[in-house]
Amino acid sequence: MTVHTIRAGFMPLLDACILIVAHEKGFDADEGIRLQLHKETSWANIRDRISVGHFDAAHMLGPMPVAASAGVLPIPMDICVPFAMGLGGNAITVSREMAEALRQTGMCEAFDPARNGQALKLLIDQNTMPRRPVFAVVHPYSGHNYELRYWLAGCAMDPDRDVEIIVIPPVMMPDALRSGHIDGYCAGEPWNTVSVESGYGHILTVKSKIWRSSPEKVLGVRTQFNADHPEIVEALIRALYSAARWCDEAANSEEIDDILQRPAYLDVPAKTLLPVLRGDLADIFGVKHRLNGFFIPFDRAATFPWRSHALWIYSQMVRWGHAPFSQDLVKRVSATYRSDIYRNALKGMGADIPSASLKVEGALTAASAVGSTRSKLFLGPDGFFDGTVFDPDRIKDYVHSQSQNR
Amino acid sequence: MPTLALSVLVIDENEMRASIIEDGLREAGYANVEIIRDIAGAAQHIENHAPDVIVIDIENPKRDMLEAFFALSRSVQRPIAMFVDQSDSFSIEAAVEAGVSAYVVDGLRKERVRPILEMAISRFRAFSRLQSDLQKAQSALEDRKLIDRAKSILMRSHGYGEREAYEMLRRTAMNKGVKLVDVAQSLLTAESLLTNKDPEESS
């Protein structure tokens, strides 16, 4: 049997762990494929290299394929998303000075997006800060940008007027915060903890508090590659599924840390990732908590490519003027997320797969059993911090109600 | 505006490569070429000068910042598109292969920009060749040094002449089917074990 090599790009981030572990622990070989991993320096490179065919698949920000199907990327990228690379994993960190000012309002509470957001709103309204707060995100089309904006807007701030949002690569965020170039940022781990540990930053809130069980990175596959080699893409999905399950086991945290910290991957000091893998984060008062569901690699159908996730991202792109709205684009965005490929790939594995491809996001206040192939699948809670829900069938109303609030 | 009046901004942290590209463009008659090492400075430059073409090393980790700047900037009126033409997949691929990424003011006709991109691509390639030649030369030099040290050990311990010592190493390499430099390295390691010296220090 010939072993087919799949060339896959990744950025050195925690949620690349599923791809990296699939290779390092031999889940790829188990499926008769070989993952050839390429570390990249920017999302622009991932986009360019997959567009010209240097990569067959890549670790991607969820909004990248959505932006591609909405036709707003600077070069066309014909890709599909047959697999999601976990839920959550980001946090919003602010500078020491801003944290001090926020605490002095007396309104802050550990990781609470609503209370801490009100505190920030108060500071902005008082107009006592030396400048309009500058927040950095990792990319314009990123979950980071959209969750930061969602949080600010949900706390009655205007992300385009009350603050300035700029782009900085995650690795450079701690230095930018320390030098005073920015006042805060939204990034994946370990880049928040790095600032906390150095004493120059405090975590204000986390993605899993803004929107529980929310989507983050995905696996983008070249549509042409999938058309030419459907059986290889399915083998890849099975390998990644097994790797994600392995990553979700608490007993494997030390080994994950040991693999990811190597120079070929994240290139960080050993043990840097251990607290994050366990969900141990310090709040704005410096008190450590264990946050359940901070980053979920596998549980709660974390690898299922929900079409409602793609549509929520699209709704936010429309909301902030990053993409036009049309029913045609709704169809195209929705069709980019390929739950059909996911189901086909995993049907023989005894995997518990959701029966639906869309769900009303934010409707589950507690973990709930849902219709699935083995009837043992629990999803959620998946609430948004402001209590609203997103019904993917009513996307236009959703965007409309959000612009009313502005 | 004649083609050669197009202004080009080169962003490159590698000074040598930047100047190789600059020279190429100037030789080709483009007088309006600027070089900047850091993206932070580039943002200001683009605001002030609105270059027609921007060339950047594809490995620059700040590319995402640069692209976001294009998207956010209000003062750069015209949107800046990637590469010469979105449908021109050949030149996109050639550029990515060579490690060049370029941004062009939207609306510029592609035949006007193509020579600039081609020049950048060929200069990037020339630079990579230069670098790999340099590396090869360096490693050849290192090999020579190792072999010389191994020869002198044989000359000292066996009373061989330089030619005999070299022949000895060469024959051993051939018999064992390994490289000459590997035999030399083994000999140096063995010698350091026997004399209890760090092999890096023995000469």
At B79 the pLDDT is: 45
Verify whether the Cβ–Cβ distance A52 to B59 is below 8 Å. Answer: no
- Residues from chain A contacting residue B61 (CB–CB below 8 Å): 41-42, 169, 171-172
- Residues from chain B contacting residue A41 (CB–CB below 8 Å): 59-61, 63
- Residues from chain A contacting residue B81 (CB–CB below 8 Å): 74
- Residues from chain A contacting residue B64 (CB–CB below 8 Å): 42-44, 138-139, 167, 169
Band (B200; pLDDT cuts 50, 70, 90): low
Verify whether the Cβ–Cβ distance A166 to B82 is below 8 Å. Answer: no
At B80 the pLDDT is: 57
How much is the average pLDDT of B87-111?
A: 74
Q: Distance (Å, rounded) from C-alpha B26 to C-alpha B24?
A: 5
Burial class (CB in 10 A: 0-12, 13-18, 19+), B187: buried
Question: Is a pLDDT exceeding 60 seen at residue B85?
Answer: no
Cβ atoms within 10 Å of B186's Cβ, excluding its own: 14
Tell me which residue in A48, A74, A169 faces B81 most closely, judged by beta carbons. A74
Question: Is a pLDDT exceeding 90 seen at residue B28?
Answer: no
Helix (H, G, I), strand (E, B) or coil at B61: coil
Choosing among B60, B64, B121, which should be mutated to test the A contact, i.e. which has the most A CBs within 10 A? B64
Report chain B's mean pLDDT, rounded to a whole number.
Answer: 81
Q: How many helices (H) and strands (E) does chain B have?
A: 7, 5
Percent of chain A exceeding pLDDT 90 equals 85
At A1 the pLDDT is: 60
Task: Give the distance from residue B58's alpha carbon to the nearest chain A alpha carbon, in angstroms.
Answer: 7
Verify whether the Cβ–Cβ distance B96 to A42 is below 8 Å. Answer: no
At A3 the pLDDT is: 87
Percent of chain B exceeding pLDDT 90 equals 21
Beta bridge partners of A38: A9
Please give the residue that has the higher pLDDT: either A286 or A364: A286
Greatest mean pLDDT among A27-31, A356-360, B83-87 lies in A27-31
At A26 the pLDDT is: 97
| Integer-rounded Cα radius of gyration of chain A | 20
Nearest to A198 by CA among A190, A208, A206, A187: A190
Beta strands per DSSP E along A100-145: 134-137
Planar angle of CA A187, A21, A229, nearest 5 degrees: 100
Band (B96; pLDDT cuts 50, 70, 90): confident
How much is the average pLDDT of A39-47?
A: 92
Give the strands of the sheet with B33-36, arranged side by side. Answer: B33-36, B8-11, B53-57, B100-105, B80-82
Choosing among A39, A40, A41, which should be mutated to test the B contact, i.e. which has the most B CBs within 10 A? A41
Band (B203; pLDDT cuts 50, 70, 90): very low
At A295 the pLDDT is: 95
- Residues from chain A contacting residue B89 (CB–CB below 8 Å): 52
Residues A189-204: tens digit of each pLDDT: 989 999 999 999 999 9
- Residues from chain A contacting residue B65 (CB–CB below 8 Å): 166-169
Nearest to A40 by CA among A30, A52, A53, A50: A50
Task: Give the distance from residue A124's alpha carbon to the nearest chain B alpha carbon, in angstroms.
Answer: 22
At A296 the pLDDT is: 95
At B52 the pLDDT is: 83
Q: Distance (Å, rounded) from C-alpha A83 to C-alpha A79?
A: 12
Band (B78; pLDDT cuts 50, 70, 90): very low
Asked if the C-beta of A135 comes within 8 angstroms of chain B's C-beta atoms, the answer is no
Percent of chain B exceeding pLDDT 70 equals 82
| Integer-rounded Cα radius of gyration of chain B | 26
Verify whether the Cβ–Cβ distance B71 to A44 is below 8 Å. Answer: no
Tell me which residue in A44, A54, A75 faces B64 most closely, judged by beta carbons. A44
Tell me the residues of chain A between 373 and 402 that have a Cβ less than 8 Å away from chain B. Answer: none
- Residues from chain B contacting residue A172 (CB–CB below 8 Å): 61
Question: Is a pLDDT exceeding 70 seen at residue B75?
Answer: no
Please give the residue that has the higher pLDDT: either B174 or B112: B174
How much is the average pLDDT of B81-94?
A: 62
Q: Distance (Å, rounded) from C-alpha B45 to C-alpha A278?
A: 45
How much is the average pLDDT of B41-62?
A: 84
Tell me the residues of chain A between 147 and 186 that have a Cβ less than 8 Å away from chain B. Answer: 166-169, 171-172
- The residues, ordered by sequence, that sit 6+ positions from A59 with a Cβ below 8 Å of its Cβ are A8, A9, A10, A11, A13, A15, A16, A19, A46, A85, A217, A219
- The ipTM value here is 0.84
Residues B112-154: tens digit of each pLDDT: 777 888 888 888 888 888 888 888 888 888 999 999 999 999 9
Cβ atoms within 10 Å of A40's Cβ, excluding its own: 21
How much is the average pLDDT of B17-29?
A: 88
Verify whether the Cβ–Cβ distance B93 to A53 is below 8 Å. Answer: yes
Q: Distance (Å, rounded) from C-alpha B65 to C-alpha A181?
A: 14
Question: Is a pLDDT exceeding 60 seen at residue A183?
Answer: yes
Please give the residue that has the higher pLDDT: either A151 or B127: A151
- Residues from chain B contacting residue A42 (CB–CB below 8 Å): 60-64
Residues A306-318: tens digit of each pLDDT: 999 999 999 999 9
- Residues from chain B contacting residue A49 (CB–CB below 8 Å): 96
At B84 the pLDDT is: 47
Question: Is a pLDDT exceeding 60 seen at residue B105?
Answer: yes
Nearest CA in chain A to B92: A52
Residues A266-318: tens digit of each pLDDT: 999 999 899 989 999 999 999 999 998 999 999 999 999 999 999 999 999 99
Q: Distance (Å, rounded) from C-alpha A280 to C-alpha A193?
A: 10
Question: Is a pLDDT exceeding 60 seen at residue A246?
Answer: yes
Task: Give the distance from residue A271's alpha carbon to the nearest chain B alpha carbon, in angstroms.
Answer: 25
At A17 the pLDDT is: 97
Asked if the C-beta of B58 comes within 8 angstroms of chain A's C-beta atoms, the answer is yes
Verify whether the Cβ–Cβ distance A75 to B82 is below 8 Å. Answer: yes
Report chain A's mean pLDDT, rounded to a whole number.
Answer: 94
Instruction: Give the long-range contacts of residues A101-110, CB within 8 A, separation 24 or more.
Output: A101/A128, A101/A129, A102/A204, A102/A284, A103/A284, A103/A285, A108/A284, A108/A285, A110/A283, A110/A284, A110/A285, A110/A287, A110/A289
How much is the average pLDDT of A3-23?
A: 96
At A115 the pLDDT is: 97
